[in-house]
Amino acid sequence: MYTRKVFKLKDMARWTRFSTLLFFIISASVVGLYHVLDLHWLKIPWTPLALIGTAVAFVIGFQNNSAYGRIWEARKIWGGIVNTSRTFGMFVQDMVTNEHASEKLSDKELHGEVKTLTYRHIAWMTALRHAMRAPRTWETVLNEKTNQEWTKILQPPERKSTLEDDLKPYLSEEDMKYVLSKGNKQTALLYLQSHHLRRLKEKGTIWEFSFLELEGVLEELFTLQGKSERIKNFPYPRHFASLNHYFMWVFVLLLPLAIVPQFAEIGSEIAEKMPMIGKYFIWLSIPFYIIVAWVFHTMERIGRTGENPFEGSANDVPISTIARGIEIDLRQNLGETDEEIPDQFPVIYDTQM
């Protein structure tokens, strides 16, 4: 899915409210131990913490760049599917003719062949998007509480229907039986397309050079499918993702042990001239700690959210919307009416599915 509007500050605050509350508790606890219980030994110097923070910042930056690269590659792949699908629809309509046929077909029969090929292509996109939405063990973003709140509102269509139900409008019973018996449904559909094109070539309904062109389009669809499956089935390396998460928490948990004593020292200096302000100045360390910890934690979380661009979160590639848009184009060019063509998936909270 894809959020079209700028993520508002209130939405970000709501998304991170539990971690913000945790940071408040951590910082308030350290201030209480240091100031109220006079545990002034509870501190660490800035130098080692600064080194840890620098390392964590580099790793978070690397993770975010890698996650964005996966999202952008996925978007380019599905952009390629859009272009190749339109090319396939155009080729099928113009290359399935009686020009070289040994047995002439009626216009209705020719249209039926074109429709069968076009509908099977729509079925291929349907099977592919269902495969991309299938959960993997390493896809854990939706297990977080605030992300689960969004998924109750923003569920991709593949979570609301089965693949079998979505394929029925586009395939014959024979094709359905064949496809559902295979592990990789989308690959099975491209095999069916190739077999169908070969039969039409043998009858002369498709010229031999046209057959080669159409086979080339199927080859490109196989390539795009494989690229999409590669992103889905090969996760962001877990040693980077897991260690980065742990390093971030080490930094966040150690940070108040450096910030609180620093504010206490500043408060002691202020107390010489302004005793009241200096006495309570240490409590200002709480909002400053929350800001710093929130930035590191949120940036790391954004990186984790973008690792799997087909998982089904609000910032994923909107493959359902893309596939439905291609379907609408193809069926309109078949001459079908608006009543026959399904509507585009709705945009919910400015988010495409």
Phi, psi of 4 (to 5 degrees): -85, -30
Q: According to the model, what pLDDT value does residue 219 have? A: 97
pLDDT the model gives residue 7: 53
Three-state SS string over 310-345 comes to CCCCCCCCCHHHHHHHHHHHHHHHCCCCCCCCCCCC
- Taking only the tens place, the pLDDT of each residue in 220-231 is 999 999 999 999
Report the predicted TM-score, pTM, of the whole model to 2 decimal places.
Answer: 0.87
What are the CA-CA distances from residue 189 to residues 171, 178, 278 (Å)? 10, 9, 74
Inter-CA distances, 88 with 137, 220, 319, 320, Å: 35, 10, 19, 19
- Which pLDDT score, from 0 to 100, does residue 152 have? 73
pLDDT of residue 4: 44
**Residue-level pLDDT at 5:** 46
Q: For the chain, which ranges sit under pLDDT 50?
A: 2-6
Q: What DSSP assignment string belongs to 35-47?
A: IIS--TT----HH
CB 188, CB 123: distance < 8 Å: no
Residue 8: its pLDDT value, please? 64
Provide the sign of the torsion angle of the four alpha carbons 91, 94, 96, 99, taken in this order. Answer: negative
**Number of CB atoms found within 10 A of residue 199's CB:** 12
How confident is the model at residue 6, as a pLDDT? Answer: 47
